[in-house]
Amino acid sequence: MVPSNEDQPGAESGDLIGPDWHDLGLLSDIQIGHATYAEVAGRGVCVARASESDVVIFDDACPHAGASLAGGRVYDQCLVCPWHAWEFRLSDGKCPDNEVITVRKHECRVVDGHVLCRLNGTDSGPTDPRARF
């Protein structure tokens, strides 16, 4: 049976979410200043929470060495990779020290306490792992 619209996050407020939006769980399960792993349509993503209401979603692979960004920390409006401390701006996914290096950012909403994600199919910029500081 297909769930009714009333079962979807946002149904009470009239903010219905289309089929391309994926519910990643409760915002309250993600600590402020931390990042966690989620899977969307078979793709690993990193969900980073910067503040009470500010959440961003990136691909879960650091362009430096392919390490998971989940488990990283949010510091000074950047996601910090837990492996080698490379930083990526929350606003656009670019590395502040070398803007050629970028992590793909996905659309994110918080509706009725749920984190929702819509995957972006195109790169937000070059992600050349050969680019170095």
- Please report the pLDDT score of residue 24 as a whole number: 96
Domains identified in the chain and CATH numbers: 30-118 (2.102.10.10)
Contacts of 60 by beta carbon, 8 Å cutoff, 6+ apart: 37, 44, 45, 46, 68, 69, 70
* pLDDT tens track for 57-86: 999 999 999 999 999 999 999 999 999 999
Dihedral angle sign, alpha carbons of residues 85, 78, 127, 21: positive
Confidence class of residue 123 from pLDDT cuts 50, 70 and 90?
very low
Confidence class of residue 34 from pLDDT cuts 50, 70 and 90?
very high
pTM of the entire structure? 0.78
Q: Region 43-70: what's the mean pLDDT?
A: 96
Alpha carbon of 37 to those of 34, 48, 52, 99: distances in Å?
11, 9, 19, 24
Rg (CA), the chain: 15
pLDDT at residue 5 tops 80: no
* pLDDT tens track for 90-121: 999 999 999 999 999 999 999 999 999 999 86
Helices (H), 26-92: none
Mean model confidence pLDDT for the chain: 84
